[in-house]
Amino acid sequence: MKGLIVKDLLLIKENIKQLVLFVLVFVFIGLQGNQILVFVPAFLSMMMFLSTFSYDDYNKWNSYAVTLPNGRKNIVKAKYIASIFLSLVAILLTYLLVILFGVANHNLNLEETTATLLGCWSAIVLLQSIMYPLIFKLGIEKGRIFLLVLVFGISALIGLLFQNIKVSLSSEVIHFLDNYLLIILPLLMMIILYISYKVSAKIVQKKEF
Amino acid sequence: MNAIEIKGLVKKYDEKFQLGKLDLTVPKGVIVGLIGENGAGKTTLLKAILNIIQTDEGTIKINGRDNHEEKTKENIGVVLDNMFFPELLTAKDIELAMRGIAKNWDTELYYNYLKEFSLPLDKPLKALSKGMRKKLEIATALSHHPDILILDEATSGLDPIIRNEILDIFLNFIQDENHTIILSTHITSDLEHVADKIVFIDQGKIVLDKDRDELIDHYGILKCDPDKMDQVKKEDYVCYKKNKYDVEFLVADREKIRKKYRDFIVDKMTLEELMLLMIKGVK
């Protein structure tokens, strides 16, 4: 499996160099005022990683990969691990730079940055968790279209629901979320990611390439 | 123990195409050539052996183990038609990846092959010629010390010189009597040089499974004028094909037929002629 991760990272090695540049630029812009922008590099890392699926599809890599020892298991595992690794690197790098710049400029707002980056990481993990099974099932081209439909569909649905139903959270719930969200959210995302991995593994186990 | 043993294999696609039911045994130490038209089922059969596709019935054993066992894959080297590493990668990248994929990967052997085949290290696959790409695929397949090589159309689209070089690599590989090669091709002349056994697939079924020597030494073609074709008895030929000016009969025992039909020409036959007659001919 290690080899498959190496292969994916080699595929986007040029992009990874650009990613470091993006982190620098967006941290710099973010610290000028709009700190919410620091999430951009991590999102870019997710998009970059998606291109490895396109390269794979184009050269029918998966058909070849399943002939390698433990191929079916490992192609799924490697995609999840490599993409989590990449987004974590992007986020940690951003975090580190924000702290460095913040300390240097005496305007460090750690709480806001932590919340922004954690929210961003959760969103990335959620998207990947929905996307990967779809891509393994349908291929990158169809998977992408399906994902768009799904994301817009869910957003519209949630929007409609909240418009028509008045949600009133009691102050206790808000207080609870305020205190524990930083722990609950990552845990929840890990569970979702794990389920998604299991679904993908099942799809690939039976798939004909 | 046989290298590959297939029993009762069936793979259904739709009403129009089905592979099998077929049985095939490939002993160790031989080169088996799979021939047949495009779409006859050669690639499907190889994909089934490699567990790339699921089968509906039957069993496939590799070195005595079920082909679903992951361990079997450690002993197989694969060259498929247009299925390989993404083409942005270089020969060096492939080495780095394979090191973490194949258990018996041999870096030194791989680099030796690259040198022997004069392949560049730092050029992406897409910048390589078709012949160079094929050689790189073969080098990759050989560098984890497999004992079975499975090759799908490994020589098609290549010029005779490169094809010859590649066939030499195969002959070299088969020097070890534990090694086995299955290769599919529609360039039948390649097989006349290297194959020990010829397996002919037509419309998903194995219609011929014979030693090459038997085919080349004993099979033949009897030619006669169309108006004399009634003189050839049904038990003496496998099939026949009417051409514009003559009729060709495929015969299984050339010498016997030559003695029996002294007025007709009975010639040796190439695998290409055999393929044509068996597909286009009438029984």
- Looking at the complex, does the CB of residue B71 fall below 8 Å from at least one CB of chain A? yes
DSSP secondary structure letter of residue B20: E
Q: What is the per-residue pLDDT for B88? A: 94
B109 touches chain A (CB under 8 A): no
- CB B212, CB B198: distance < 8 Å: yes
- Both B185 and B261 in a single domain? no
What is the ipTM metric for this complex?
A: 0.88
Range of lowest pLDDT (A28-37, B17-26, B156-165): A28-37
Listed residues B157, B190, B212: the one ending a domain: B212
% of residues, chain B, pLDDT over 70: 100
Tokens 């930083």 sit on residue:
A182
The residue among B163, B197, B212 that closes a domain is B212
The answer to whether residues B143 and B267 belong to one domain is no
Backbone angles phi, psi at B241, to 5 degrees: -140, 130
**Count of CB atoms within 10 A of residue A181's CB?**
15
pLDDT class of B27 with cuts at 50, 70, 90: very high
Q: CA–CA separation, A1 vs B97, rounded Å? A: 9
Q: Quote the pLDDT of residue A96.
A: 87
Tokens of B86: 């993404």
| Per-residue model confidence as pLDDT tens digits over A155-184 | 888 888 777 766 666 777 777 777 777 788
- Do residues B124 and B90 touch, judged by C-beta distance below 8 A? yes
Residue of B nearest to A7 (CA): B97
Q: Same domain, yes or no, for B100 and B230?
A: no
Contact between residue B212 and residue B197 where contact means Cβ atoms under 8 Å apart: yes
| Domain that residue A196 falls in | 2-206
Q: Do B52 and A4 touch (CB under 8 A)?
A: no
Dump strand ranges (E) for chain B. Answer: 4-12, 18-26, 31-35, 57-62, 65-66, 76-79, 148-152, 180-184, 197-202, 205-211, 220-224, 239-242, 247-251, 265-267
Taking CB atoms and an 8 Å cutoff, what residues of chain B touch A4? 97, 100-101
| All residues at 6 or more sequence positions from A206 whose CB lies less than 8 Å from its CB, including other chains | B54
Question: Nearest C-alpha of chain B: how many angstroms from A135?
Answer: 17
Structural domain total, chain B: 2
Put simply, whether B116 touches A (Cβ < 8 Å) is no
**Average pLDDT, stretch A45-56?**
91
- Name residue A132's amino acid: Y
> Residues B44, B140: one domain?
yes
Together in a domain, B183 and B239? no
Q: How far apart are CA B162 and CA B182, in angstroms?
A: 19
Q: Evaluate if residue B33 carries a pLDDT over 80.
A: yes
Q: Which of residues 28-47 of B touch A (CB under 8 A)?
A: 47
Q: How far apart are the CA of B85 and the nearest CA of chain A, in angstroms?
A: 5
- Which of B181, B212, B243 is the C-terminal boundary of a domain? B212
Q: Can you give the pLDDT at residue A56?
A: 94
pLDDT attached to residue A167: 62
| C-alpha to C-alpha distances, B142 to A85, A149, B104, B150, B274, nearest whole angstrom | 32, 45, 11, 11, 32
**Residue B244 contacts A, CB cutoff 8 Å:** no
CB environment A37-62: b (16+ within 10 A), e (fewer): bbbbbbbbbbebbbebbebbbebbbb
Mean pLDDT of chain A: 86
Range of the domain at B33: 4-212
Would an 8 Å CB–CB cutoff place B85 in contact with chain A?
yes
- Amino acid of residue B83: M
- pLDDT, residue B7, reads 94
Taking residues A19-43, report their average pLDDT.
79
Q: What is the pLDDT of residues B58-87, one digit of tens each?
A: 999 999 999 999 889 999 999 999 899 999
B118 contacts B154 by C-beta, under 8 angstroms:
no
CB contacts, 8 Å: B103 with chain A: 69
Residues B198 and B248 occupy one common structural domain: no
Mean pLDDT, residues B7-11 taken together: 93
Task: Give the distance from residue B98's alpha carbon to the nearest chain A alpha carbon, in angstroms.
Answer: 6
Q: Are B20 and B11 in contact (CB under 8 A)?
A: yes
- Chain B touched by A53 (CB under 8 Å): no
Q: How far is B90 from chain A (nearest CA, A)?
A: 10
Instruction: List, for residues B203-225, the tens digit of each pLDDT value.
Output: 899 999 999 988 888 999 999 88
Q: Which amino acid is at A78?
A: A
Residue A105 has a CB neighbour count (10 Å cut-off) of 9
pLDDT of residue A169: 66
| A69 neighbourhood in chain B, CB within 8 Å | 70-71, 73-74, 101-103
CATH of the domain at B150: 3.40.50.300
Is B69 touching A (CB cutoff 8 A)?
no
pLDDT tens digits, B117-151? 999 999 999 999 999 999 999 999 999 999 999 99
Whether B97 and A7 lie within 8 Å, measured CB to CB:
yes
Asked if B97 and A6 count as a contact pair (C-beta separation under 8 A), the reply is: yes
Question: What span, in angstroms and rounded, lies between the C-alpha atoms of B113 and A120?
Answer: 47
Q: Report the C-alpha gap between B82 and A60 in whole angstroms.
A: 7
Domain count, chain A: 1
